[in-house]
Amino acid sequence: MLGLRVAARMTSSLDEAGPRWYAHAYNRPNFYRFAAALSWVPRRLRLALARRIGRLAPSFMPTERAAIQKAMTRFTGATGARLDTLTVRVFTDFAMCFSDLVSTNRQLAAHRLSHVGHVEGLERLASLSGGLISLTAHVGNWELAGRLLAGRSARPTHVVVAPDEARELERWVRRDGEGVRFVSRSRPTVSLELLAALRRGEVVGVQGDRALGTKGDVEISFFGRPARFPLGPFRLSSAVGVPLLPAFCLLDAHYRYVVKIAEPFTAARGEEEAAAHTWVAALEAIVREYPTQWFNFFDIWEPFGQ
C-alpha cells in the first residue's frame, strides 16, 4: 500500500505489545474499486482527475494534513502560502501515484515501461550478482520500482509487507507474478525464509522508512531530528553478507517515472546501525529532491504519539 497508514502505540512498553497499526478511514475497497474502474481512462485524463481529487483531500483529512505540513516544514523550510501549496501537492502527487498503483502498475511489463522516462544507476544493479536487498520507502510509486527492478534483475523478488493490510485490498496492491512474490511479516519466522532466499541468490525488497515499534528499531537523525527506523534489513544483510541497494521510483514534472538506484552498500557484522545511517542519508537526499512524494501521512518523528 502506498501510504495512508498510521501507527499508534497503545502501551508504554514496546516490547509488551508493540504498536497497533490501523488503516486510514479512506483505506477502503470502494476507493480502490473506484480508482481501478478508471483504468480505461487515458492516463493523462486519469491523472488530471486524480489531481483534482487530491486537491480536495486535505480538507477531509486534517490529521494527515497537519502531519504533512510538519514534514514539509522540516524538509523544505517553507512557511505560509508556499507551505500550503507543498502540502496540497503531497496529496495530489499521492493521488496520481495511487491511481497508477491500481491501473498502470497492473499492466503488462512492456506497457508499464512506456511510463518510465529514465532509470538512473541501472549499472549499479547490473554489477551485483547473487542475493541482494532492495531497500525503498513510501516515496513515489515504490511498488512500480519493485516490479521494474524484479524484471531487470532477472531474479525472484520477495517483497516484505506489513501483516495487517486489509485482506480485501490485496487484489489491488499485492499481486504476485512477473518474478514478484509478496511476503507478509505476520510470522516472525519469515526472516528464515528471507535468509534462505538471499542465499539462493534472490532479491528481498523491503521498505526501510517505518519503525516497527519494537526493539528492532533504531533512532537516527532525519532532517535534523531523531526518528526511528527499522534495523531488520541491515541485520539480514550482515547475516548473509549481501549488499543493500536503495531504489526509488519518482514521478517527474511530465508525469513520467524516474527510477533512481543509489550506491549499494553492505552492513558488516556489528555495524548494522552504521549501515542504517547510510540508508537514512540516501533517503534524506531523495526526499530533499522530491519532498512532495513523501507518502507517510503520519508524524515520522513521533509515529507512536510519544
Q: Which residues are at the interface with other proteins (CB under 8 A)?
A: 15, 185, 187-193, 195-197, 199-200, 214-216, 231-232, 235-236, 239
Of residues 111 and 187, the one with the C-beta less far from other proteins: 187
State the nearest-atom distance from the C-beta of 195 to other proteins, in Å. Answer: 6
Quick check: 185 and 261 in contact, CB under 8 A? Answer: no
Rounded to 5°, angle at Cα 54 from 285 and 145: 45
State the nearest-atom distance from the C-beta of 222 to other proteins, in Å. Answer: 21
Of residues 101 and 183, the one with the C-beta less far from other proteins: 183
Q: What residue has cell string 554489477?
A: 127
Tally Cβ neighbours within 10 Å of residue 181: 15
State the nearest-atom distance from the C-beta of 187 to other proteins, in Å. Answer: 7
State the nearest-atom distance from the C-beta of 211 to other proteins, in Å. Answer: 13
CB within 8 Å of 124: residues ≥ 6 apart? 245, 261, 262, 263, 264
Of residues 133 and 139, the one with the C-beta less far from other proteins: 133
State the nearest-atom distance from the C-beta of 20 to other proteins, in Å. Answer: 13
Element (DSSP H or E) covering residue 203: strand 203-207
What is the chain's alpha carbon radius of gyration, rounded to the nearest angstrom?
Answer: 18
Q: What residue has cell string 548473509?
A: 240
Of residues 101 and 197, the one with the C-beta less far from other proteins: 197
Of residues 55 and 185, the one with the C-beta less far from other proteins: 185
